[in-house]
Structure formats: C-alpha cells, structure tokens
Copies of this chain bind each other. A is one copy, B any other.
Amino acid sequence: MNLENSKAQMRKGILELCILGIIDAEKEVYPSDIIARMKEAELIVVEGTLYPLLSRLMKGGLLDYSWVESKSGPPRKYYKLTENGKLHLKELKKTWGTLSQSVATITQNTQNHE
C-alpha cells in the first residue's frame, strides 16, 4: 500500500475511456498517435500497455483496423471505432459522469483542513 499504487489504480480506471475517446476524436489513429495524445493530456502510456489493450478492444468488437503504409518505417495499424465501440464509449462516458458526481458528493463534505 503506497501512494503510487493508489494513483496507479486511478489511472487504470480511466485508461480505456481515454483510449476510446482519442480514437473517436481522431477517427483513425495508430498507436503512436494515441501515445502522443495521451502524453499531451499528461498521461504516460507505453506500448506494452497499449497494445494488449487494443487487442482486447478488438476482440470485443469495439475496434477495427486497417494497414496503412508509412514513409518512415513499417506499415501501421490504423484503428477506428466500430458501431459497438461508439456505443461502448457512450456508456463509459455516462458512467464516468456518474462516478465523478459520486466523488464530488463524497469529497465535498471533506473540506480540506489546511
């Protein structure tokens, strides 16, 4: 039990939402794009975390991909949301809203003692 683990647990909670959100916003992205967008939002994600997650989302029918050639290296997998993926994202956003509200309710009474 340490602070870093606690923070990590929080980050885990929003990871999928953020990934899906980014793909939705960009229409089509490849993993490095996602990593870059995440970084812009101050969320550090590495390939070893991202790839397995994308695989799971694929398996779940939330994503689709197509190969696109690149001039700077090997071909890339460009991902986009399926209809199911959009629905899934919508639900996650709703859940996120509800949870945020819950946290707000709970922590509002906790006036910081500083």
Contacts and interface: CB of A to CB of B under 8 A. Distances in A.
A16 B57 CA distance: 27
Contacts of A12: 9, 12-13
Copies in the complex: 2
Tell me if A's interface is mostly helix, strand, loop or mixed.
helix
Given A3-B88, A13-B12, A14-B99, A21 B110 contact: yes
A20 to B, nearest CB: 9
A59 interface: yes
Interface of A: 1-3, 6-7, 9-18, 21-22, 24-25, 37-38, 40-43, 56-57, 59-60, 62, 86, 88-93, 95-96, 98-103, 105-107, 109-110, 112-114
